[in-house]
């Protein structure tokens, strides 16, 4: 049984010092670690993006050690243990802790893109925690919410009867990849538009430069035959 995202994920995470900048940072609990499955969704994402620098910060609840390292893309998968019906975290306390995570990521890199995953199972109390996460993502730019409700409803469970099995992790990884792919397409579109704008302005500037370097006019300027008008003040 693999823990903490499996040997591959942990090997990559250990290669990065805590202050190093990562391409992808994952902040998650045992679900991210792939507990009860051969390969968790985080490890599958690592295989999808070979050569990417990846860092991992583990936490059982939303109270994770801060500050967080810088990253270009951050994935937060927390809240499932906070929604535990036996030892639940109050929604207001959960919201404050979750907000600190987002702000710590943004302090490390103001341009970071943050994908916040919803709570796994834990019905019916999961709805309240999902609402808090969704509301927080709307307060910050480049921050999105991805619900796991539909996936967890008919998901196959691992041997412990609660954590997702490999097929469920495949489904989670697919949803995360789709959302990250949408961001990548948007970013490429913006870069293409910016490149076109630069090309357009460069063309205009070239035309203006050519207009400014016209050969001097050799035709004498004809003097006006109209008599000059005297100013009323001069009489």
Rounded to whole angstroms, the Cα distance separating 71 from 26 reads: 9
Please indicate, yes or no, if residue 199 is contained in any of the structural domains. Answer: no
Rounded to whole angstroms, the Cα distance separating 186 from 73 reads: 14
Nearest one of 57, 139, 131 to 102, comparing CA atoms: 139
- Span 98-157, pLDDT tens digits: 999 999 999 999 999 999 999 988 788 899 999 999 999 999 999 999 999 888 776 556
Residue 158: CATH number of its domain: 3.40.50.1110
Please indicate, yes or no, if residue 222 is contained in any of the structural domains. Answer: no
Rounded to whole angstroms, the Cα distance separating 34 from 57 reads: 14
Spatial contact of 75 and 28, defined as CB atoms under 8 Å apart: yes
The per-residue pLDDT for 12 is 37
The per-residue pLDDT for 44 is 87
Burial (CB < 10 A; 0-12, 13-18, 19+), residue 202, is exposed
Digit-by-digit pLDDT tens for the chain (235 residues) are 444 444 334 333 433 344 445 689 999 998 888 888 888 898 888 887 777 888 889 888 899 999 999 999 999 999 999 999 899 999 999 999 999 999 999 999 999 999 999 998 878 889 999 999 999 999 999 999 999 988 877 655 656 667 888 888 899 999 999 998 887 776 655 445 555 555 444 444 433 434 444 444 444 433 444 444 444 444 4
Rounded to whole angstroms, the Cα distance separating 93 from 155 reads: 29
The per-residue pLDDT for 72 is 93
Nearest one of 83, 68, 70 to 20, comparing CA atoms: 70
Please indicate, yes or no, if residue 200 is contained in any of the structural domains. Answer: no
Tally of domains within the chain: 1
The per-residue pLDDT for 16 is 39
Q: Is 192 helix (H, G, I), strand (E, B) or coil?
A: helix
The per-residue pLDDT for 155 is 56
Nearest one of 76, 75, 12, 2 to 39, comparing CA atoms: 2
Give me the torsion for CA of 122, 144, 5, 162, rounded to 10°: 10
Q: Is 222 helix (H, G, I), strand (E, B) or coil?
A: coil
The per-residue pLDDT for 156 is 59
Rounded to whole angstroms, the Cα distance separating 79 from 57 reads: 15
The per-residue pLDDT for 166 is 87
Please indicate, yes or no, if residue 84 is contained in any of the structural domains. Answer: yes
Please indicate, yes or no, if residue 88 is contained in any of the structural domains. Answer: yes
Taking the model in full, what pTM does it have? 0.71
Question: Alpha carbon 67 to chain centroid distance?
Answer: 18
Please indicate, yes or no, if residue 221 is contained in any of the structural domains. Answer: no
Please indicate, yes or no, if residue 21 is contained in any of the structural domains. Answer: yes
Please indicate, yes or no, if residue 224 is contained in any of the structural domains. Answer: no
- Give the structural domain span for 36: 6-188
Six-digit token string for 90: 């109050």
Q: What are phi and psi of 219, to 5 degrees?
A: -80, 125
């Amino acid at each position: 049984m693999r823990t903490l995202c499996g040997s591959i994920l942990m090997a990559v995470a250990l290669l990065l010092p805590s202050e190093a900048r990562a391409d992808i940072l994952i902040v998650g609990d045992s679900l991210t670690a792939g507990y009860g499955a051969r390969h968790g969704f985080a490890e599958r994402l690592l295989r999808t993006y070979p050569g990417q620098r990846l860092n991992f910060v583990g936490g059982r609840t939303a109270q994770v050690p801060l500050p967080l390292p810088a990253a270009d893309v951050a994935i937060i998968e927390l809240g499932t243990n906070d929604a535990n019906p036996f030892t639940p975290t109050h929604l207001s306390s959960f919201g404050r802790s979750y907000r600190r995570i987002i702000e710590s990521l943004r302090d490390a890199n103001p341009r970071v893109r943050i994908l916040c995953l919803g709570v796994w199972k834990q019905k019916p109390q999961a709805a309240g925690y999902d609402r808090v996460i969704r509301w927080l993502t709307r307060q910050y730019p480049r921050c999105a919410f991805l619900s796991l409700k539909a996936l967890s409803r008919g998901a196959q469970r691992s041997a412990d009867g609660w954590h997702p099995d490999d097929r469920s992790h495949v489904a989670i990884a697919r949803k995360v990849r789709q959302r990250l792919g949408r961001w990548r397409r948007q970013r490429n579109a913006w870069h293409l538009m910016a490149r076109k704008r630069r090309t357009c302005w460069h063309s205009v500037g070239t035309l203006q430069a050519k207009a400014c370097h016209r050969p001097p006019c050799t035709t004498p300027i004809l003097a006006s035959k109209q008599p000059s008008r005297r100013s009323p003040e001069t009489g």
